[in-house]
Amino acid sequence: TAIAGQSRVRVQWEGRAGHAGTTPMNLRHDALCAAAELTLAARDCGVIATVGQLEVKPGASNVIPGLVTMSLDIRHQSDARRVAAVRKLHTQAKVIAKRSSVKLTWTLVQQTNSVNCNPALTNLMRTATARHERKVLALPSGAGHDAAAITAICPVSMLFLRCKGGVSHHPDESVKTADV
């Protein structure tokens, strides 16, 4: 039905490194705790959101993290819902930063709009597939595809095959020969 739009953000939390054993909990400016809070907020934000990278400095087991840089990848087939989720997460990050006494730097790195698949082409594929399958599903793609760029010159649609265990974009991805 569509190829999801994407927003990628680099979020930096700057707190204060300190000795783990001598800094009381109420006096800490822990950048990693702030990053963890935003990670959980992303998980619960209502769209597909992923924190895939965390860089923690100074990175010692006995030092409170003073600087954390994280990636945030937010996707949805509705640009309005995706952009609203980005705004909401940015607002939550500001609240977390203030409460945690850390400095927040929010940088939008990349933004790609969603692409709707061509209804006529999609219907042709649905009709052809229905000749061979009892149930035909219509779903958006959460992954980016070359088809998104091709819409500049022609209509597009996509056909997906079921994968064992729902695993996609991973070495364990597997389809049945009969489905192909």
Q: Are strands 115-116 and 67-76 parallel, antiparallel or unpaired?
A: unpaired
Nearest C-alpha neighbor of 45 from the set 93, 72, 81, 85: 85
SS3 17: coil
The reported pTM is 0.90
Backbone angles phi, psi at 46, to 5 degrees: 95, -5
> What pLDDT shows up at residue 49?
98
Q: What are the per-10-residue average pLDDT scores of the chain (180 residues)?
A: 96 97 96 98 97 97 97 97 98 98 98 95 94 90 89 92 85 87
